[in-house]
Structure 1
């Protein structure tokens, strides 16, 4: 399975925000520079994470972004479900003439569910806990 760059940067942003001291604000410019992504793309990522209530955006001179939920409550599987288009193949009968007899779509769906179940066992907190190397890299 291939995740979109949007999902990738959403997860990276959540990991970074979780590595900050609780409640500390950072800004989009810093996150953009940290991950070397365009500001326009990061604004869309931050906006979506805010809509999904994973992060809080604070406006104004001293504003910024921070996690809204505790990192241990943010499950990677749910983030992927919320952001990633999860259609693996187009099984419409207009697109594929073997759809009525195809068994592949069921196997792909089972694989997708197993993939997401594995990610459901992982919280953002578990990705940063006892990971001094990651914290060091994110503080650069």
Structure 2
């Protein structure tokens, strides 16, 4: 299974936001520059995540984006479910002649559920807490 770039960059954006001091705002431009992705793509991702409460977008001159709720309450499996299409096979294709007898769809559904259940064991906080290497890679040293 491979996550779409939408989900991948959504998770990366959340990781970046979780490394910031609580409540600190940043811009979509900063996030896109950190990961070298299209700003237009990230705008769509952040917009979707703000719709579901993962990100808070603050408008205005001093606006920006930040986590919409504490990192400890953002479950990675739930983020994936919210952002990822999660249809591994398309059994409605007109050229699939084995649909009525196929067991692949059921096996893939069980595997997907096992994957999501495993990802439900991790919060955003788990991914960033105490991860000094990540902090150094994402957040430049601040002057004293």
TM-score normalised per structure 2: 0.94
Secondary structure in structure 1 of the residue aligned to 2:130: coil
Partner in structure 2 of residue 60 of structure 1: 60
Partner in structure 2 of residue 107 of structure 1: 107
1:3 correspondence with 2:6: no
Q: CA deviation at 1:102?
A: 0.6
Give the alignment of 1:19-98 within 5 angstroms: 19-92=19-92, 94-98=94-98
Partner in structure 2 of residue 124 of structure 1: 124
CA distance in 2, matches of 1:11, 1:80: 8
CA distance in 1, matches of 2:34, 2:93: 45
Which 5+ residue runs of structure 2 have no aligned equivalent?
Answer: none
Secondary structure in structure 2 of the residue aligned to 1:81: helix
TM-score normalised per structure 1: 0.97
CA distance in 2, matches of 1:70, 1:117: 21
**Higher share of residues assigned helix:** 1
Are the aligned partners of 1:93 and 1:99 in contact in 2 as well (CA < 8 Å)?
no
Are the aligned partners of 1:32 and 1:38 in contact in 2 as well (CA < 8 Å)?
yes
Query: Which deviations, in whole Å up to 9, do the C-alpha atoms of 1:86-127 show, x marking residues without a partner?
Result: 000011263411111111111000000000001000110000
Aligned pairs, how many?
140
Query: Which deviations, in whole Å up to 9, do the C-alpha atoms of 1:57-96 show, x marking residues without a partner?
Result: 0000000000011101101101100010100001126341
Residues 93 and 99 from structure 1, CA distance in 2 versus in 1: closer, same or farther, beyond 3 angstroms? farther
Kindly report structure 1 stretches of 4+ aligned residues shifted beyond 4 Å: none
CA distance in 1, matches of 2:63, 2:92: 46
CA distance in 1, matches of 2:33, 2:90: 37
CA distance in 2, matches of 1:95, 1:55: 41
